[in-house]
Structure formats: C-alpha cells, structure tokens
Amino acid sequence: MAPPGVDKLAESCPLNVRFVRITRAAPRKRVRRQGPLLPLVILVVTLRLFAQAPVGGGLPFRPLGTCASGGDVRWQSLAPAGDRDTLDRWCDSVGPSLVAAGHPLSEPARTLVLATWNVHVGNGDVERFLQSITIGPRLRAPYGVVLLLQEVLRISPDVPPRYPDRMRPPRGIRAHGERQDIAALTRRLGLHAVYIPSMRNGRLFTSDAREDRGNAILSTWPLDDVRALELPFGQQRHVAVTARIAAAGVPPLRVMSVHLDPSGHRTAEAAALAAYVRDLTPSDETLVIGGDLNTWFGRREQALHLLTNVIPEENCGHEKTNSWPWRLQAPLGWWRGRLDYLFSTLAADEMRACTTLPEQFGSDHRPVIMTIEVSDR
C-alpha cells in the first residue's frame, strides 16, 4: 500500500512521469572467506597430535635398561645428556641385541675379505654377494670374511608390540620379494655375528612378525670386546657397532659398522664418532670403519672430512654407491654423491686392494670390498 498522498500526487503529475517506490534493503551479513591455509594448518596439527598420541596408556616412562652394559655387549653413549630421554624411548621400542657364535675355520685363511654394504633393510642378497667375491682383487683361497652391514633387518617376536609414549617411530621400509632376517641369515652362513638394532621398522604390527633394523658385523673369526656406540640424536636413532677380531696372521684388528643420519644431523654424529676414534685405545689395534655416511653432497661434506681427519679413507673408488629405481633416479637421485666408504689405520705396506662392485644384489647400495693379504707367519 502506497504512503498517504502518493496517489493524489500521481494524479496531478504529467503522464510521462513514473513513480518508483524506494525501500531500504536489509543489511547483508559479511561472510569472511577462509583461504586454503586454515584447513591445512588444522590438518597438520591433527596429524601431529595423532602421531604423538600415547600408545602405552599414558603411564610415566621408565626405561627398560636394555641400552646398558651387560652380557656380551658394552654400551657407550656418544650423545649429549639432553638426548638421553629420547634415546631411551627409541631403545625401548626395539628388541635386544643379537650375538651369535659361528663355526670354526677348518684351515687358516690366506686372504681377509672385508666389505661394507647397506643391505636396504634385508633386501640385499648377502649369500649371492658372498658367492660373487671369488672374482675380487688379490683374492687367494682359502679366505676369511668380515662384513660390515647397515640397515640390517630382524624379524622377531622379541621386538616390542608397542612403542613408548612421546616418540615417533620411523616408517617401515618394505620391498618386493623375500627379505633376509639377520638371525636366520647368520645360522645359514655359520658366521660369528653381532647385531645392534637402532630403530623399529614400522610402527605397529599385526602379528608376531615384528621388525627392527640396525647395524651388524658378520665374521669368519670370533668377535670379542663388542661395543654399541649410541650417536647423538637427530631425526632418528643410530647406533654404531664395533668388535675386535683375532685372526691368525692378521694384526690385532678392530672393525666398526656405522650408518649416519640422512638429515643434516649427520655432521654432529660424525663429530662424536671422530672424537671417539681419536681417543680410542689401545693404539696398537688396527681399526677399520665401514659405513653409509649418507653424504648426499659427496666429498664436500663436513661429515666425511671430520672422519678423514682422524682415520685415513681407503681408495675404493669415487663413483656413486647408491641409486634408486630408474623412475626416481632421474628426477631425484642423479645429483647425489658417494655415500659408502671404508677407512682404516692399516700400515702403508700392508698388501691390500679396494674396489666398489658394480652390482647392487637387490639392495639400493653397491658393496665396497677390500681384500687384505694375510701373512704366512
């Protein structure tokens, strides 16, 4: 209905004038549009809370003491005191160390074959690799073997079904085909062995086939004075393993298998390891270190320089020792440098030869192998 007087005004106006009613519209509510950042932040926070949610019922954490000296393994921490709580949690998420005795040699060896190899969590075929070393340089039969292995796999109900509160275990590394469990492999080969787990191979498992991974030494000769060296914590927990080998005709020999962090924290790990090597006694032992240093930028990396300052690198080649499947290698792996090295305090006149094998034997790393002539004395 028009306001009073409007109809009379319309009658008195010319016909070509049109009246339009003007009303005030109700105010529109302003809606703040959320950009894509807020949902992303909510998702990240939710995932972090889920990843760190307590699994053990929220009880106070008390380390089990499995990373302490006792039995066949002597534990030494090279980490700062502030890492202790985190390292204890990671330690309690894995199974115990494994020490196994092998079969005695039937006759003295004329050659010592010493190799370092990242076996890619049990995917490397160690038995096929051992069959191939008969073509190695300076090899004289009979020969003894010392293997310094990284990313070794253990499948066992001894691995805890759950992990402690406030830790984030690494994802499991899987692959197609049959993987080699370190305990079963050691029994088949009849070698002396020590295996020190560093971390779980996955978070939760649906059966007793639970997994952890770490470093190992396999040897034709018995191992003694076995030590586990816990390195400073970075993105993951890493434990080097070292042992003494008494072989006829070979000077007192200590070997070490080490795997450094793939993140930039490997420099701090290498610094701690270098300090340990510098202070290592007795000095009359020959030391051989083999491992995957994860030096993505090759020989420019500080982690490598820290170690070569205290122990010489063996000349085993300069080519790359790691490659990914071809679909990933071209876009992601082509730029990476050499990752795997051997270092030793062997005398300059000690007859030896070192090389990097061209085949990976199912792993994503190539073995680096050194042969040492054993004295007849």
**Domain chopping of the chain, boundaries:** 97-373
User: Distance between CA 376 and CA 12 in Å, rounded?
Assistant: 134
pLDDT for position 35: 53
What backbone torsions phi and psi does residue 136 show, to the nearest 5 degrees?
A: -65, 165
pLDDT for position 37: 62
| Cβ-contact 182, 193 below 8 angstroms | yes
pTM of the model: 0.81
Amino acid at 19: F
Superfamily of domain 97-373: Endonuclease/exonuclease/phosphatase (3.60.10.10)
The winner for highest mean pLDDT among 37-41, 177-181, 241-245 is 241-245
**Helix, strand or coil for residue 43?**
helix
Report the DSSP beta bridge partners of residue 280: none
> Which residue from 313, 293, 311, 312 is spatially nearest to 303, judged by alpha carbons?
293
User: Distance between CA 190 and CA 295 in Å, rounded?
Assistant: 33
Q: For the chain, percent helix, then strand, then coil, each to nearest 5? A: 20, 25, 55
Average pLDDT, the chain: 82
User: Distance between CA 164 and CA 160 in Å, rounded?
Assistant: 10
Taking only the tens place, the pLDDT of each residue in 354-372 is 999 999 999 999 999 999 8
Rounded to an integer, what is the distance from CA 1 to the centroid of its chain?
83
**Bigger pLDDT: 62 or 185?**
185
Report the DSSP beta bridge partners of residue 100: 193
- H-helix or E-strand containing 7? helix 6-12
pLDDT for position 205: 87
pLDDT > 50? residue 10 = no
With vertex at residue 84, the alpha carbon angle to CA 78 and CA 88, rounded to the nearest 5 degrees, is: 110
Q: Say which residue the tokens 């990933």 belong to.
A: 328
Taking only the tens place, the pLDDT of each residue in 72-105 is 899 999 999 999 999 999 999 999 999 999 998 7
User: Distance between CA 317 and CA 356 in Å, rounded?
Assistant: 6
Reduced 3-state DSSP string for 240-309: EEEEEECCCCCCCEEEEEEECCCCCCHHHHHHHHHHHHHCCCCCCCEEEEEEECCCCCHHHCHHHHHHHC
| Cβ-contact 372, 112 below 8 angstroms | yes
**Bigger pLDDT: 287 or 106?**
287
Instruction: Determine the average pLDDT of the residues in 115-119.
Output: 97
What backbone torsions phi and psi does residue 103 show, to the nearest 5 degrees?
A: -90, 145
Paired tokens of 71: 């039995």
Greatest alpha-carbon pair distance for the chain in Å reads 135
Which of 22-26, 190-194, 209-213, 279-283 is least confident?
22-26
Amino acid at 200: R
Q: Before 142, cis peptide (omega within 30)?
A: yes
Please, which pLDDT band fits residue 31 given cuts at 50, 70 and 90? very low
